[in-house]
Amino acid sequence: MLNFGHATALLVVGSTMAHLSIYLTEEQGFSLTEPGFLGTSLMITQLAGQMVGGWLGDRRSKQHLVVAAMVGHVIGMVLFTFAAAPWMIWAFVPFHGLAWGVRGPLLQAMRADYFGATSFGRIMGWSAMIMMLGTMSGPIIVGLVRDSTGTYQLGFTVITVGASLAIAFFALATPPALPGQAQETVRAER
């Protein structure tokens, strides 16, 4: 569940970053320099999200924080996708940037909490392959849909649905039973 949630979350990050400048200049009427300011603002809010998320993750449920971050991604993507005014694009920045920043480090910490340090490298290796599918496929999906429809709206809507699925994946991601716990559970059920 962690990997599928992370992959669908990265659909959002990969597609928005890959298509940000073209979307803003060609469909939203931004000047050629404004996407640079917006991208920088995203990075600043992402950094702030990492700091806040790391601090909160040591004090609150990481799972709840990650679910909340995905809700932020969804809100941000709705603003971004259906923007009727520049303020909606700028409102996307804190939702998307903070959600991205909070989610990233907490997912690594959740993997460590759930699986321990013994096989962390192997777990991250397999996880990275699944996560990369989201990072790579998001820009391709959005680009193909934009090429066939002439607008980004449907492609970004598809990505927003993916982000909504990530909410469910993360909500269902519970720590696995340790080998000894699994055996004890079977014995207790007999």
> How far apart are alpha carbons 55 and 148 in whole angstroms?
44
- Record: fold of 2-189: Growth Hormone; Chain: A; (1.20.1250)
> How far apart are alpha carbons 160 and 133 in whole angstroms?
16
Mean pLDDT (the chain) is 89
What are the extents of the domains in the chain?
2-189
Could you report the per-residue pLDDT of 125-164, keeping only the tens digit for each? 888 888 888 889 999 999 999 999 999 999 999 999 989 9
Half-sphere CA count of 82, side-chain side, radius 13 A: 8
Q: Predicted confidence band at 180 (pLDDT cuts at 50, 70, 90)? A: low
175 Cβ contact partners less than 8 Å away, ≥ 6 residues apart: 113, 114
Q: What is the pTM of this model?
A: 0.85
